[in-house]
Amino acid sequence: MSAAATLIEVEQLSKVYAPAGAFLKRLTGGARQRLTAVDDVSLSIRAGEILSLVGESGSGKTTLGRALLRLVEPSAGRILFRGEDLRSFAPSRMRAARRHLQMIFQDPYSALNPRMTVRQTLAEAMRVHAIHPAEEIDDRVVELLETVGLNAGQADRFPRDFSGGQRQRIGIARALSVRPAFIVADEPVSAVDVSIQAQILNLLLDLRERFDLTMLFIAHDLSVVRYVSTRVGVMYLGRIVELAPRQAIFAAPRHPYTQGLLRAAPRPDPGRRSTTVAITGEPPSALDPPSGCHFRTRCPMATALCAEARPALAEIAPDHLVACHHHAAAMAAWTGAAAPHH
Amino acid sequence: MSALLEVRNLTTRIQTRRGVLTIVDDVSFSLEEGECFGLVGESGSGKSMICRSILRLPPTSPALMSGRIAFEGQDLLALPDREMTRLCGRRIAMVVQDAIAALNPVLPVGRQIAEAMLEHGVAANRRDARARVLALMRKVGIPAPERRIDDYPHEFSGGMCQRVVIAAALACAPRLLLADEPTTALDVTIQDQILKLLGELQQEMRLAVLLVTHDMGVVAQSCRRVAVMYAGRIVELAETAALFDQPLHPYSAGLLSCVPSVDGAAEEATRLRPIPGGPPDIADPPEGCRFHPRCPLAIGACQSGAFPLFEVRPGRFTACIRHEELARAGNIWAEPMPAARAPEAAEAAE
């Protein structure tokens, strides 16, 4: 563990959905189907860091991010924020706590109310949480707009007057309006164009420094994750399979899935074309995941053991956690194969 | 080599509520037999509309297009509708981004793959078509085709739907495949599989592919040559390796360097320098070079006049009159930031 204090401690968090129709099926005697979106996840988020969650669709990263803020109610586990379990909070206390826990959404179009001006959007949360006297709110709106690179003259416009990148800036300003300690950013750049992406990423990095923010950054794009993260958690079918500082994830990945993801990422380098597929097959259904290690059906190193026992997420090097029975062999294979990018 | 597809001075306008907009503006390029050619650009750059123009699909229509699109020597814009229908799906096929939407939800996938074969008389009868469909499904990597041929699209994953769409596109052994962001909706490991599948098919069937994408990584992996589009125009056209080695348009250079990378230790300490501003409104584009309001190399001469592509060296085209300055300046978009993780010094001053 590094010296940084823990801001949020997630302990054995799970989110299980019973799919639509499950109730009827149960009445008619059918087997009950359950979808475990987040499967017994434990991790700590350290003050001041950007912890990224990366994984493919269905890996549970968004559900985990939302469960952490109780935007979806977890099925089990604890979320300790500054030492107190958010799940034990009564609704009124939770509402007050939300001031410290904000979210930036993926889709800058649907995340803003089309009938509210930017000023109304930004003022709303400040009013709800009574952070500023009413007469100061206008000044604060202007300040927020300038902080995210918009200008005061745009305060009375509606979302439709802004481009996707600008709307994402408004979403960021809204999250900042209540001076939160922690922000979950759910794929904040996947809906904006490539030339705008870097603007938003740099803005987030600047704001993190300036306001001493801690962030959970959810993304599927490894290059983006590499650019912004302090640490990275890799998810597969609801579980964290590897969790390590950014440098270690990208230079010395130890889980075969992380290694495959890195190999699969298209690189802007025509000299390094490859014709071999990085990971064969498709993710199995979350309704019927494989026994033991969920990744074993696509894993080149899988053995009988992988079907029998779920590998624990264990610290195999300082601050480097991996859930793989064969992590030593996987690491040797990575180093031996002269990883495609080193 | 002879060109399979030759697009000359193509201009495509579409009718919208805001009036007639020019989406593709005087674009020229050609594709050789068996070549994978990339069209790269951001949303609204006109790259998808070029695909639709080639097939004359809505919202394009020959009446609002000018220029020439020659395919195997025939001008597609002058072709009667009936002739065009005979080419579509037989000699030229298309794969789109949203494979699930591209499939008919109430028809088994096998019927959909067979449709073009029966329509164009490539398969003699239903039994023959079924045998060909099974072979195609195997070829595009759908496991256990015998069991899956009568399944419906909703029973397939997104990646498998894209394989079904590719199988349907290849059913009549076309010469040209228009692939419009074929992997954008897919996860990275599935994208990797589909790109490699397209590469194999292209080799095996000597298929020419026009690959439309916004991702320079996809271009690098798949394309022999590439055209970079900005606001309806091609701003640079070159062999992929040459363009990545030394872009000759500030916008291409920006696309390459404003995107973070998954590797390269040197970049650890580099801060991305974004392209400032945003793409122009296509209804009211800037005069002169359309990129000049965002360009760090722009001078007075960039603000007016026409900016056609010109050949700098054999096979290398740019629309930038400042390409020599760009080449001399090195990376105009890179900004060394040793304190990438700690820009507080600048911020604290505020």
Q: Test B192 with A264 for CB contact under 8 angstroms.
A: yes
Question: How far does A93 lie from chain B, in Å, by closest CA?
Answer: 34
| Neighbouring C-beta atoms of residue A183, cutoff 10 Å | 26
3-state helix vs strand vs coil in chain A, percent to 5? 40, 20, 40
Count Cβ atoms within 10 A of the Cβ of residue B96 and give its class: 0-12 exposed, 13-18 middle, 19 or more buried: buried
pTM over 0.95: no
Q: Give pLDDT, residue A25.
A: 65
Better-scored residue on pLDDT, A32 or A151: A151
- Is the model's pLDDT at A252 over the cut of 50? yes
DSSP states of A154-180 as a string?
Answer: GTT--GGGS-HHHHHHHHHHHHHTT--
Structure tokens at B57: 């699909």
Q: Which residues, 6 or more positions from A187, have their beta carbon under 8 angstroms from its beta carbon?
A: A62, A106, A218, A219, A220
User: Nearest-CA residue of chain B relative to A257?
Assistant: B189
Name chain B contacts of A266, Cβ cutoff 8 Å.
191-192, 195, 215, 217-218, 220-221
Portion of chain B with pLDDT greater than 70, in percent? 93
Q: Give pLDDT, residue B349.
A: 33
Structure tokens at B140: 């595009």
Q: Test A198 with B344 for CB contact under 8 angstroms.
A: no
Name chain B contacts of A278, Cβ cutoff 8 Å.
189, 192
Question: How far does B117 lie from chain A, in Å, by closest CA?
Answer: 29
Give the rounded distance of the alpha carbon of B177 from its chain centre: 11
Give the rounded distance of the alpha carbon of A27 from its chain centre: 37
Count Cβ atoms within 10 A of the Cβ of residue A281 and give its class: 0-12 exposed, 13-18 middle, 19 or more buried: middle
Lowest mean pLDDT among A179-188, B104-113, B278-287: B278-287
Q: Test A266 with B192 for CB contact under 8 angstroms.
A: yes
Residue B88's SS3 state is strand
Across chain B, mean pLDDT equals 91
Q: Identify the sign of the CA torsion B239, B245, B251, B255.
A: positive
The pLDDT-based confidence of B145 (bands split at 50, 70, 90) is very high
DSSP states of A17-65 as a string?
Answer: E--TTHHHHHHTTPPPP-EEEEEEEEEEEETT-EEEEE--TTSSHHHHH
Q: Give pLDDT, residue B156.
A: 94
Q: Test A269 with B159 for CB contact under 8 angstroms.
A: no
Portion of chain A with pLDDT greater than 70, in percent? 94
Q: Give pLDDT, residue B343.
A: 36
Lowest mean pLDDT among B95-109, B123-137, B273-287: B273-287
- Is the model's pLDDT at B10 over the cut of 50? yes
Span B27-64, pLDDT tens digits: 999 999 999 999 999 988 999 999 999 999 989 888 99
Span A268-326, pLDDT tens digits: 899 888 889 999 999 998 889 999 999 999 999 999 999 999 999 999 999 999 999 99
Average pLDDT over residues B7-11: 97
DSSP code, position B332? T
Q: Test A268 with B256 for CB contact under 8 angstroms.
A: yes
Average pLDDT over residues B285-304: 96
Q: Does A253 touch chain B (CB under 8 A)?
A: no
Q: Does A90 touch chain B (CB under 8 A)?
A: no
Q: Give pLDDT, residue A191.
A: 85
| Neighbouring C-beta atoms of residue A10, cutoff 10 Å | 22
